[in-house]
Amino acid sequence: MIGLLNLGSLVLGLMAWILPVINLMSYKKHEYKNWTILLVLSLSACAISLMFQIFYHYHLVKSEDWSALMDITGVVVLAAAVLLGFTIILNALTLIVYRNKTANY
C-alpha cells in the first residue's frame, strides 16, 4: 500500500507537466475556455505529488528504516526541485501566452 505513494507521486508529477503542455497546444486551436482549470489542476497535481513523497518519508521515519531514508533523500530532493521548477515554468508560460488572449474576451 505504501509503495503506491511513489507510483501516485510519479503519475501526478507527469500530470503536472502534461496539463500545461495541453494548454499550450490548444492555444493554436483558439480554445480559451478551460485554460485556467487546467492550470489549477496542474499546480494541484504538483502539490499532491510532493505531499505523497512527504507521506512516504514519514512512513520510513515511523518504521525507522534509516538506511532507506538516507539512500533516497538526495534523489527525492532533486526530483522534487525539478518537478516544482518545471511545473512553475510551464504554468508561467501558459499565463504569459493566454494573458493577452483572454483580455479580449
| Per-residue pLDDT tens digits for 77-95 | 999 999 999 999 999 999 9
Burial class of residue 70, CB neighbours in 10 A (0-12, 13-18, 19+): exposed
Q: Residue 29 has what pLDDT? A: 73
Per-residue CA distances from 60 to 38, 42, 57 (Å) = 33, 28, 5
Q: Residue 66 has what pLDDT? A: 94
Burial class of residue 82, CB neighbours in 10 A (0-12, 13-18, 19+): exposed
Q: Residue 75 has what pLDDT? A: 95
pTM, to two decimals: 0.88
* The residue type at 25: M
| 54 band by pLDDT with thresholds 50, 70 and 90 | very high
> Looking at per-residue confidence, does 88 or 31 come out higher?
88
Number of domains, the chain: 1
By residue range, what is the domain housing residue 26? 3-103
